[in-house]
C-alpha cells in the first residue's frame, strides 16, 4: 500500500508541471493618442470666445498643447503647476494654461528654462476665470 501511495505521488509530481501554462508577457502599452493637438494661444482664444463649445471639444480629453514655458510653481495640496503661455505672449500675462504635473514629469520640467517652447500633454479640465486648466500633465517629445 505504501508503494502504491509513493508511485501515485511520484506520478502526480511528474505530470503536474505539464498542466501549468506559462503566462504570456503583455507587450508594453502604447500611450493613448491625444484627442487634439493645439497651440496654447488657440486654445485660450477658443475658451475666451465660447467656453461651452470649447468644453465640448476638449474637456475631459487628453490633449497636446504647445506654448511658451513661463515657470513651475508649488500649489498647496496639488503638487506642481507649470504655466504655459501663448507662443506670442509678452512679459506680463494674466491669461495662461495651468498644467498640473504628473509626478513622472517633475524631473524633466525642472530642466526647462523660462521662454522655452514646450509641448505638454494632459487632460483638459476646462476653464476657471481666465485660465485653462489641465491635469496629469507630462512634457511631450
* pLDDT tens for each residue of 86-108: 988 777 677 899 999 998 989 99
Residue 26 CA, chain-centre distance (Å), reads 21
- Could you tell me if residue 6 is inside a domain? no
**What does the pLDDT look like over 48-85, one tens digit per residue?**
999 999 999 999 999 999 999 999 998 887 789 999 99
Q: Which of 22-36, 66-80, 92-106, 125-139 has the lowest mean pLDDT?
A: 22-36
pTM: 0.74
> Phi and psi dihedrals of 42, rounded to 5?
-70, -40
- Find out whether 63 and 35 touch, Cβ atoms under 8 Å: yes
- Could you tell me if residue 28 is inside a domain? no
| Full residue range of the structural domain in which residue 45 is found | 37-139
How many domains does one find in the chain?
1
> Phi and psi dihedrals of 37, rounded to 5?
-125, 125
- Could you tell me if residue 89 is inside a domain? yes
H or E element at residue 79? strand 79-85
* CATH code of the domain covering residue 54: 2.40.50.140
CA dist 85 → 31, 102, 109 (Å): 25, 19, 15
- Find out whether 41 and 87 touch, Cβ atoms under 8 Å: yes
Amino acid at each position: 500500500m505504501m508503494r502504491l501511495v509513493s508511485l501515485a505521488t511520484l506520478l502526480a509530481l511528474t505530470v503536474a508541471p505539464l498542466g501549468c501554462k506559462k503566462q504570456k508577457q503583455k507587450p508594453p502599452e502604447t500611450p493613448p493618442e491625444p484627442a487634439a493637438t493645439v497651440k496654447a494661444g488657440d486654445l485660450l482664444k477658443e475658451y475666451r470666445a465660447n467656453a461651452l463649445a470649447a468644453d465640448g471639444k476638449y474637456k475631459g480629453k487628453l490633449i497636446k498643447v504647445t506654448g511658451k514655458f513661463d515657470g513651475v510653481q508649488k500649489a498647496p495640496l496639488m503638487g506642481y503647476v507649470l504655466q504655459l503661455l501663448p507662443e506670442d505672449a509678452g512679459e506680463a500675462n494674466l491669461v495662461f494654461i495651468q498644467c498640473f504635473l504628473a509626478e513622472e514629469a517633475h524631473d524633466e520640467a525642472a530642466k526647462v528654462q523660462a521662454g522655452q517652447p514646450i509641448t505638454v500633454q494632459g487632460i483638459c479640465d476646462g476653464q476657471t476665470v481666465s485660465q485653462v486648466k489641465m491635469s496629469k500633465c507630462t512634457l511631450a517629445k
